[in-house]
């Protein structure tokens, strides 16, 4: 086969799978214009239209679907074989790009990441710490670490890190002035401090007791988008706050904060490491996941 034809087929496959010239270009490391021209060239060579384009959508034609159905398993098999060859190396190496939020990085990701790099100096590591959702395929990360609720369906995920627990806390002065809530519904008569996550959404306050779950949409008297600011506002007596116990623990211990609704906040399985189901994990990824699972 003409090497150019093989490259064109791979490009078409990526566009057809992602339904986007932009996403395909990002994953291939080329420009959107180059991807578009490649697909046009392939269509011209074959004498048949492979993609149906409009201003709002991009979908394979019937011929494109047939071609994709042939290409996809063969490309996947080739990727798997190449990954198997990489495993033959005695010492894992290459690049390992990981993305996670600050809390995960501080509590268990960095210890595992630094331990891996110290033990395997041929691995080129990159740890990106940011709380926004990251499309690891489009942005070419090997592993992402997020809460399970935020994972896409086509990802392979494994639980990592310790169990987590959310708590509702308030300053002693605030609770002296306002009776502590006995149930989540009592929060309606309290000032509450809201947290806006990286997706721009106010984080819900979720509770569980005796197998029954309850989610409360509180009226926030103040809203922050930073964990440290959330703790500071609670310590200042500005209202009740909902946060991971890890963040509140030092302030609970020294008496600056008091936990309420404790019997409505059982531990839960927290973070999951995830990677694309479309590729076989290289040795560096496998070793990193093993280290992360030791933290459970």
Dist. CA 216–CA 209, nearest whole Å: 14
* pLDDT given for residue 163 in this prediction: 87
pLDDT for the residue numbered 182: 93
CB 262 within 8 Å of CB 138: no
Distances (CA, A) of 14 to 17, 36, 133, 217: 5, 12, 22, 41
**Among the CATH numbers 3.40.190.290, 1.10.260.30, 1.20.1090.10, 3.10.20.30, which is that of 166-260?**
3.40.190.290
**Superfamily (CATH) of domain 94-160+270-295:** Periplasmic binding protein-like II (3.40.190.10)
Residue 212, token pair as written in the block: 């029954």
Q: What mean pLDDT is predicted for residues 36-55? A: 87
> What is the 8-class DSSP label of residue 263?
G
Mean pLDDT across the stretch 238-248?
94
Q: What is the full DSSP assignment across 204-226?
A: PEEEEETTEEEEE---EEEEES-
pLDDT tens for 137-160 read: 888 999 999 887 666 667 888 899
Q: Report the Cα 91 to chain-centroid distance in Å.
A: 28
**Once rounded to an integer, what is the mean pLDDT over residues 272-296?**
82
Least confident of 84-88, 107-111, 183-187, 237-241: 84-88
- Interatomic CA distance for residues 254 and 276, integer angstroms: 43
pLDDT for 295 beyond 80: no
Strand boundaries in the chain, DSSP class E? 51-53, 58-60, 94-100, 123-129, 143-147, 155-159, 166-170, 192-195, 205-209, 212-216, 220-224, 240-244, 258-260, 271-276
Report the alpha-carbon distance of residue 234 to residue 230 in Å, rounded: 6
Rounded distance between C-alpha atoms, residue 279 and residue 83, angstroms: 8
Q: What is the pLDDT of residues 10-27, one digit of tens each?
A: 888 888 888 888 888 898
Average pLDDT of the residues of the chain: 87
Measured in whole angstroms, the distance separating CA 97 from the mean position of its chain's CA atoms is: 13
Between vectors from CA 74 to CA 72 and to CA 79, what angle results, nearest 5°?
Answer: 95
d(CA 292, CA 282): 16
Q: Pick the residue with more confidence: 8 or 174? A: 174
Q: Tell me the C-alpha distance between 13 and 28, whole Å.
A: 11
Per-residue tokens: 200: 């721009």
On the question of pLDDT at 54 being above 80, the answer is no
Residues in the chain: 296
3-89 and 166-260: identical CATH topology = no
Q: Give me 31's structure tokens.
A: 């420009």
- Which option is the CATH number for 3-89: 1.10.8.870, 3.40.50.2020, 1.10.357.10, 1.10.10.10? 1.10.10.10
What pLDDT score does 8 carry?
86
Greater confidence (181 vs 72) lies with 181
Minimum mean pLDDT among 63-72, 77-86, 129-138, 201-210: which range?
Answer: 77-86
Task: State the DSSP string of 125-188.
Answer: EEEEE-SS---TTTTT-SEEEEEGGG--TTEEEEE-S--B-EEEEE-HHHHHHSPPPSSGGGGG
How does residue 240 score in pLDDT terms, banded at 50, 70 and 90? very high
Within its chain, how far is the Cα of 283 from the centroid? 21
Tell me the per-residue pLDDT of 73-98, one tens digit each, with 9 for 90 and over.
888 888 888 777 666 555 677 889 99
Domain positions in the chain? 3-89, 94-160+270-295, 166-260
- Comparison of pLDDT for 282 and 215, the residue scoring more: 215
pLDDT-derived band at 2, boundaries 50, 70, 90? confident
What pLDDT shows up at residue 90? 52
Average pLDDT of span 100-122: 92
pLDDT above 90 for 194:
yes
pLDDT grade, residue 219 (50/70/90)? confident
Read off the pLDDT band of 175 (50, 70, 90): very high
């Amino acid at each position: 086969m003409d090497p150019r034809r093989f490259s064109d087929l791979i490009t078409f496959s990526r566009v057809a799978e992602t339904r986007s010239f932009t996403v395909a270009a990002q994953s291939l490391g080329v420009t959107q214009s180059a991807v578009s021209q490649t697909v046009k060239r392939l269509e011209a060579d074959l004498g048949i239209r492979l993609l149906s384009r409009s201003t709002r959508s991009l979908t394979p034609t019937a011929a494109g679907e047939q071609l994709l159905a042939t290409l996809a398993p063969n490309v996947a098999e080739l990727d798997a074989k190449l990954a198997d060859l990489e495993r033959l190396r005695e010492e894992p190496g290459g690049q390992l790009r990981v993305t996670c939020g600050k809390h995960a990085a501080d509590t268990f990701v960095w210890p595992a990441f630094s331990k891996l790099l110290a033990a395997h100096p041929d691995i080129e590591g990159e740890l990106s710490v940011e709380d926004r959702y990251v499309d690891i395929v489009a942005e070419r990360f090997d592993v992402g670490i997020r809460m399970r609720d935020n994972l896409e369906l086509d990802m392979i995920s494994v639980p990592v890190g310790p169990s987590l627990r959310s708590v509702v806390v308030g300053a002693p002065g605030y609770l002296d002035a306002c009776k502590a809530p006995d149930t989540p519904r009592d929060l309606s008569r309290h000032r509450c401090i809201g947290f806006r996550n990286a997706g721009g959404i106010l984080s819900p306050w979720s509770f569980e007791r005796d197998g029954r779950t309850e989610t409360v949409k509180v009226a926030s008297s103040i809203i922050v988008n930073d964990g440290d600011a959330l703790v500071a506002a609670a310590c200042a007596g500005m209202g009740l706050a909902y946060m991971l116990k890890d963040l509140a623990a030092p302030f609970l211990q020294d008496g600056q904060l008091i936990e309420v609704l404790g019997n409505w906040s059982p531990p839960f399985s927290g973070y999951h490491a995830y990677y694309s189901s479309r590729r076989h994990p290289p040795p560096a990824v496998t070793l990193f996941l093993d280290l992360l699972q030791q933290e459970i």
